[in-house]
A = this chain, B = another copy of it.
Amino acid sequence: MKNCIIASTSTLHGGSYLEYLLIHLQQHFAGCQSILFIPYARPGGISHEEYTLKVAKAFAKIDIVVRGIHEFEDARKAIIEAEGIFTGGGNTFLLVSQLYKNEVMQVLSETVKKGTPYLGTSAGSNICGLSMQTTNDMPIVYPPSFQTLSVVPFNLNPHYLDPIEGSTHMGETRETRIKEFHAFNAIPVLGLREGSWLEVKGEMVVLKGNLKARLFLQNQEPVELESGSDLSGLK
């Protein structure tokens, strides 16, 4: 039975890394003495080691040991045998490229679908959708495919950003970008604002956190969903 937290962001403004989620993670990873961390997205280009150390410090607060996937000789085996798995944020193109390069995209999808507790933040959440095609990131590397884990049967836009009132910038708003996605793709897109997350338990998908989320369906006006909304039927 699937058991996932799919969060818009790791960090809220003014908070420390994973701080706002820790109380939920304690419950989510209850029974796990250690979790496997996937640092492939390398935010700001930091190394796998640096990134894993940062995550280990946060999880130490709830007495969970963190090991980076790069520390294992057999990445596939590390995923299959993990008590819990966390994929951190950074660059989604890089993350997806590395998952394919190390031949673990498929096994990660299967493992998460079988029920290993999973946490994703930002890029690590983006890959929970059908494809990474609603990422906000720059295409700094060329991945062999945009297809991702399909933990949920729709796409995610983490760090969803409302149009900034009074902005004179002429670059596309997030909403315009998602509309462009829907000119070519029928997949629903959920815009998750920072502080929101999805809780996935088996086939149940529920919006958590204090904020609304914005749902985009092809050829329809976007709608605001209240926290607590059941997204289980969305596909």
B177 contacts A137, CB within 8 Å? yes
Chain B residues contacting A145 (CB-CB under 8 Å) are 142
A194 contacts B180, CB within 8 Å? no
- Assuming the contacts A45-B183, A170-B159, A182-B45, asked whether A134 and B138 have C-beta atoms less than 8 A apart, the reply is yes
Residue tally, chain A, CB below 8 Å to B: 45
A133 to B133, CA, bound (A): 15
- Assuming the contacts A169-B159, A170-B13, asked whether A176 and B44 have C-beta atoms less than 8 A apart, the reply is yes
A169 to B195, CA, bound (A): 11
- Assuming the contacts A164-B164, A179-B44, A180-B44, asked whether A12 and B170 have C-beta atoms less than 8 A apart, the reply is yes
Residue of B139, B141, B177 near A132 (CB, 8 A) is B139
In the assembled complex, A196 has its CB within 8 A of some CB on chain B? no
In the assembled complex, A168 has its CB within 8 A of some CB on chain B? yes
- Assuming the contacts A133-B138, A139-B132, A194-B170, asked whether A183 and B13 have C-beta atoms less than 8 A apart, the reply is no
